[in-house]
Structure 1
Amino acid sequence: MSCAVGVTVLKASADSSTGSETILLGTRQLALEGGPLRVRVARGTTAVAALPGTAPALAPTSPTSPSDPAEPADEPPTAVEQRGQSGPAQEQSSAGPAPAAAVLGLTPVPLTPVPAVPAKPTEPPAVPPLPTAAPALPAVPSPPAFEPLFKEAPALNWVGPDDRWSRAWGLPAGGRAVAELEPVGAPAEEAGPPQPPSAEDLVLIRAVLAAVQPHADRAMAHFHALMFLRHPELRAMFPAAMDEPRERLFRALRRCAGHGDDPAALREYLVPLGRRQRKYGALTRHYASVEDCLVAALARYGGSGWDERTEAAWRRLLALASRLMVEGAEQEARSTPPWWQAEVVAHRQAVPGVAVLTLRPDQAYPFRAGQWAALETPWWPRVWRPYSFGSAPRPDGLLTLHVKAVQAGWVSNALVHRARPGDVLRLGAAEGAMTVDHAAGENLLCLGGGTGIGPIAALVEEVAEHGAAGRRVEVFYGARRAAELYRLDELRELAARHSWLTVRPVLSEQSSASGGELLGELPEVVTRYAPWHGFTACLSGPAGMVRGGVAALRRSGVPDASIRHDLPRQRD
């Protein structure tokens, strides 16, 4: 038997002369003979199934890849095909084609009967009735109630209802009464007076500070971390940014160590410092915790020389400092509150970047012309900045502040660009020694630069109210440009009414002079009119101008005891 395989089965015929059957498969033939089966498979064809009694079927060939050559066209019919197209083929076609299974010798396989499709229902299926009551679900335990980590400090770095700042202002939340502040004093009086540090103690104390100096910021940060960890309720007394408190604390430690052998100087520094701590909410019981945390931080960063003697020396110094600060707080608590609330009743832009605010305190506010006060805004809570009063005490009790918006100044920019009438600020107690002794009657030399003209004008107003009493008052009003001399007209009006007053405007930029102004830097111009013997000098303005003015006055022969300014307020 021989076999030739093509792509498509075209027809079947019988060859009587050869006694074999041929199935025409397109370009190739499948010849059935009595001998062995020979299969020729052309490229691109599909193998047929194995015939009974033959070898297994060939595996299908893979499809032609794009790289294979194209298939050749169908070849012309062979002689066998030509013979199959006549004679016997016609007879077989008349009798009908033979079944393929019979031709190939395959056993027919009965088909599986397909199940009958059921008839379409005429009525919808019945829906079971709903249950009258929902089945009970298993009980799910409710999650535990949220508990804050620090229950005593609900608002560490956040300002809003019920934080310590709001409670201090008398703004209860949720109908809860405002907690009363603990009075200062009694517990500290029961203990004996602290012993001042000895000379040996100061040597040990200063050695520790020298070791801490390179890591001062980290040491002070460690102190605050310990204090807030042990007493989380104290965090609300500090601002969100702690870099400034860290710097002030280390500066205070160095000053205490430097004046440890001078009790008078130590008292002069620490008693006012204790008064200022009242506006932060500091209480007597807080000082012991501060001492313990400070000692722990200094022991960590104080170097290898830290021992029991060093710790005892530091505890003696800190106990003395705490006692003096508590003493200052007690003295002021007898007569004044920790702070005042003041409403903004007027806000005026004097020149670009400079605002004049008029405040009405909630109760009588005692102060003198030339003094200053720390101020806190509701937009930057727990951040206090010092501002001098721009007017003398008035019968209506109103206060005036002159504020210049400083670059990157949080409080100053808020006061100049954001504050409006109706806003409420907080004021600390008035401080400062740049005041006039009206009984002495000394002559006054006043230097005011920029917004520093505010306290200078207040001094002039106070002298005019009390009477000059034969004194002379010389005012040098400095600015960069003529447009910035926003109080010049007011001062000239006072000079026109009072012969004892002389006002001299000074401009540092010559191009902006309009006539009548002195040109040059303010300290240098003042030295042109020297000597100033018998004058008490009062300086107010930018720090650089004040320092330059103090140096110029010293060179002109004015003694330090006769020079007053408000620059020390920025040191603590």
Structure 2
Amino acid sequence: MSNLSRLLKESWTLVEEQQDKLASYFYARMFLNNPQLRDLFPVQMDVQRSRLLGAIVTAVQTVDDPDVFAEYLQSLGRDHRKFHVQPEHYDAVGGALMEALRTFAGDEWTVEFDQAWRDAYAVIAAKMIAGAEADSTNPPYWHAEVLYHERRSQDIAVLTCRPLQPLEYRAGQYISVECKYQPRLWRVYSAANAPRKDGSIDFHVRALGAGWVSSALVRRVQPGDMIRLGAPMGSMVMDRRSTRDIVCVAGGTGLAPIKALIEEMTRANRTRWVHVFFGARDRDDLYDLACLNRLAARYPWLSVVAATSDDPEFPGEHGKISDVVAGYGPWNDHDFFVSGSPQMVRSTLRTLAEMQVPAIRIKYDAFGDS
């Protein structure tokens, strides 16, 4: 571990238990000192506070891995173009962040900690600015028309939209979405299809109890509405050089990127077996199982196993999907893709570790409304 990484991680422990208060203080100082920045942010700031802290913690945890660190921050810089962030805004953010850290660390904050965060933030800002500048040929966001809106269950909808300008992405990536019913609130959803010639994109959305955007997308958005899409992000994409067979584990609407990856495989795969495990609480939440079964009937290299955790009458597997995966296998020589709620992903990763699946062969994304 480098000295910079050690200082960053040691100093973070001084404020880690006060993350929410630190984030609130950070935004209060930033808006007080720079009132014009308030218009860049949504009215509801609860999720925005957690995103700030997530970005900070991720940056701190990856500072010893230059390639991951650079890729993450450049992607973050590209993504922040949708907020109309300018290079000069980074100084305001950095000043408020340092003030918040000093305030909540108190007397334990040292000159060495202060300099480490200054140095790290300078790198963070430079890489984010570089990422935004490298993306300058693209719009900060894409306007897209909703073509179809299909309710698959009480809380789940499938939306098909078409950007008005070409939007390039890879199967497995996710895209941030904003709708007119919740302006300046962006939430990430995976594209549920591989890129199409007509540019249309499917999104699978579950309305969560306190989900401002998800509820609007499921219950209010209609065909003809316009939404906005951010730059595609995420690294859960197919390694086309690998010849290993594949296991996909999806929970609920985490099926979306898995379905996109399967669709990509249908265009070129001839040699790799693909095993899909799709889990949900009950059969209603297995909202796209019929489509998966049709694909499996058409492509002999594809198999589908569905499971419910709370539906004893379901004519398939029962239990948590991670436990169902463990009942098959062995999987030591397979590539894995895992997508679903944070709890489902954590459970599956633990299971795979117990089964001694090498971590380097596992790609995953965890999604909630935040």
Structure-1-length-normalised TM-score: 0.60
Contact 1:479–1:508 at 8 Å: present in 2 too? yes
Q: Are residues 1:521 and 2:317 paired?
A: no
Q: Are residues 1:294 and 2:97 paired?
A: yes
Q: 1:553 aligns with which of 352, 355, 365?
A: 352
Q: Are residues 436 and 231 of structure 1, via their aligned partners in 2, closer, same or farther at CA, if it must alter by over 3 Å?
A: same
Paired residues in the alignment total 370
Q: Are residues 344 and 327 of structure 1, via their aligned partners in 2, closer, same or farther at CA, if it must alter by over 3 Å?
A: same
Residue identity in the other structure for 2:159: L
Q: Are residues 1:316 and 2:119 paired?
A: yes
2:15 alignment partner, SS class = helix
In structure 1, C-alpha distance between the alignment counterparts of 2:238 and 2:68, rounded to whole Å = 23
Contact 2:62–2:68 at 8 Å: present in 1 too? yes
In structure 2, C-alpha distance between the alignment counterparts of 1:310 and 1:495, rounded to whole Å = 55
Deviates more, 1:388-397 or 1:214-223: 214-223
In structure 1, C-alpha distance between the alignment counterparts of 2:348 and 2:41, rounded to whole Å = 35
Shift of 1:266: 3.1
Structure 2 counterpart of 1:230: 33
Structure 2 counterpart of 1:487: 288
Q: Are residues 511 and 220 of structure 1, via their aligned partners in 2, closer, same or farther at CA, if it must alter by over 3 Å?
A: closer
Structure 1 counterpart of 2:190: 388
Identity %: 39
Residue identity in the other structure for 1:380: Q
Residue identity in the other structure for 2:53: F
Contact 2:178–2:229 at 8 Å: present in 1 too? yes
In structure 2, C-alpha distance between the alignment counterparts of 1:479 and 1:200, rounded to whole Å = 45
In structure 2, C-alpha distance between the alignment counterparts of 1:563 and 1:203, rounded to whole Å = 27
Instruction: Output aligned runs, 1:144-223, within 5 Å.
Output: 205=8, 208-223=11-26
Shift of 1:396: 1.5
Instruction: Output aligned runs, 1:28-177, within 5 Å.
Output: none
Deviates more, 1:247-256 or 1:444-453: 247-256
Q: Are residues 213 and 557 of structure 1, via their aligned partners in 2, closer, same or farther at CA, if it must alter by over 3 Å?
A: closer
Structure 1 counterpart of 2:340: 541
Contact 1:453–1:541 at 8 Å: present in 2 too? yes
Structure 2 counterpart of 1:253: 56
Contact 2:277–2:321 at 8 Å: present in 1 too? yes
Structure 2 counterpart of 1:368: 170
Contact 2:283–2:311 at 8 Å: present in 1 too? no
Shift of 1:453: 2.0
In structure 1, C-alpha distance between the alignment counterparts of 2:143 and 2:96, rounded to whole Å = 33
In structure 2, C-alpha distance between the alignment counterparts of 1:488 and 1:269, rounded to whole Å = 33
Encode CA deviations 1:132-185: one digit per residue, 9 max, x unaligned.
xxxxxxxxxxxxxxxxxxxxxxxxxxxxxxxxxxxxxxxxxxxxxxxxxxxxxx
Q: 1:408 aligns with which of 203, 210, 213?
A: 210
Shift of 1:435: 1.7
Q: Are residues 1:496 and 2:297 paired?
A: yes
Residue identity in the other structure for 2:264: E
Deviates more, 1:262-271 or 1:312-321: 262-271
Structure 2 counterpart of 1:348: 150
2:140 alignment partner, SS class = coil
Residue identity in the other structure for 1:502: S
Residue identity in the other structure for 2:227: L
Shift of 1:426: 0.9
Shift of 1:498: 1.6
Structure 2 counterpart of 1:41: none
Encode CA deviations 1:248-284: one digit per residue, 9 max, x unaligned.
3334334444444554443243222222211111111
Between Structure 1 and Structure 2, the one with more helix by share is 2
Q: Are residues 203 and 387 of structure 1, via their aligned partners in 2, closer, same or farther at CA, if it must alter by over 3 Å?
A: closer
1:533 alignment partner, SS class = coil
Structure 2 counterpart of 1:448: 250
Q: Are residues 517 and 213 of structure 1, via their aligned partners in 2, closer, same or farther at CA, if it must alter by over 3 Å?
A: closer
Contact 2:11–2:109 at 8 Å: present in 1 too? yes
1:381 alignment partner, SS class = coil
Q: Are residues 309 and 470 of structure 1, via their aligned partners in 2, closer, same or farther at CA, if it must alter by over 3 Å?
A: closer
Structure 2 counterpart of 1:465: 267
Larger Rg, first or second structure (1 or 2): 1
1:337 alignment partner, SS class = coil
Which protein, 1 or 2, shows the higher relative CO under an 8 Å CA cutoff with sep ≥ 6? 2
Contact 2:276–2:302 at 8 Å: present in 1 too? yes
Structure 2 counterpart of 1:326: 129
